[in-house]
Amino acid sequence: MPFTAGELCFDLACGIASDGHWHGWFSVRIAADALRRLGLHPDQPSAVVSGQSPPGWWHAAAERRGY
């Protein structure tokens, strides 16, 4: 794994939501310097949304195909 234990942190929370069902949430945090080592950083053009989302039919078609 490219990260050390000190560079990676994850949390899990769970509880009963307003609908009465149990739900779980998790978050993963990685130190910025660890991402920069892999060539990933917030200054990358690909880290920002640069266009519109595909139309709704495109998402539905992709879900039907199981992608």
Q: Which residues pair with 28 in a beta bridge?
A: 10
Q: Note whether 14 and 22 are within 8 A (CB).
A: yes
pTM for the full predicted model: 0.48
Question: What is the distance of C-alpha 60 from the center of its chain?
Answer: 21
Render pLDDT for 20-33 as a digit per residue (tens, 0 to 9): 999 999 999 888 88
Ranges under pLDDT 50 in the chain = none
**What pLDDT was estimated at residue 45?**
67
**What pLDDT was estimated at residue 66?**
75
CA of 7: how far to CAs of 12, 25, 44, 56, in Å? 17, 21, 20, 37
**What pLDDT was estimated at residue 67?**
54
Residue matched to tokens 């880290």:
47
